[in-house]
Amino acid sequence: MNQLPDEAAAPPRWGYRRAARRAGMALAAALWLAALILGGSESGFDKALFSALFAGDDGVLARNAALITHLGRWLVLTPLAVAVALFLVFKRRMRAALLLIIVFGGRMLVELQKMVVDRDRPGASPWLEAQQSASFPSGHAANATITLVAIAMLLPLRQSHRALAVGIALALALQVGWSRVALGAHWPSDVIGGWAFGLLWVGICMRLASDRPEA
């Protein structure tokens, strides 16, 4: 029986890793809460950071952001998650199921937050069509973080390679989040909340599954 990444009972250093993960999850929860409470149209911080990151009249920056933002769309993330899950079916069946639970469960929770919080978006953007859903959290940022980090964590990789994979996943998710502010689709706090929720959700799911052996 194999266990999920990083959870095999062995050297003492793993206890430090578990403690670091718990601290990371607590930090993600705190960031999500701060973004929820302190962000939005009434926040001076959000307005100032939005003005600094918004593409404005910079067409080149806007076009680059528009390309990057596609990485956070369900049309990209869903087929990617399903393809990886199908690959894992032949390698680690429990990981395949866990990946789909993380990705689609996280997506539903993101939409639930949008409905409950119902935060207004920054306003009309010259680079985007009218946005219909609420602003908090950024679905692109949250779903990119959830999908890419979960894939990096669940693919059967060596530990050194896993660290690289997670780093690449985070870098891509950061770029997707930046693109949403550059295009005027979200307040910076929406994106921070999306990143934070994505990491928290993946961490919770991985922790709950860590003691369950794989078939």
Cβ proximity of 215 and 92 under 8 Å: no
Peptide bond preceding 213 in cis form (omega within 30 of 0): no
Q: What is the DSSP letter of 22?
A: H
| DSSP 8-state class, residue 136 | S
Cα–Cα distance, 45 to 62 (Å, whole number): 22
Count of beta carbons in the 10 Å neighbourhood of residue 13: 8
186 in catalytic set: yes
Catalytic residue among 107, 119, 121, 186: 186
Identify the residue whose tokens are 């950024």: 138
Classified as helix, coil or strand, 113 is helix
Q: Which amino acid is at 111?
A: E
Rounded to whole angstroms, how far apart are CA atoms 206 and 106? 13
| Catalytic residue list contains 161 | no
- Out of 95, 114, 121, 140, the active site residue is 140
Active site residues per annotation = 140, 186
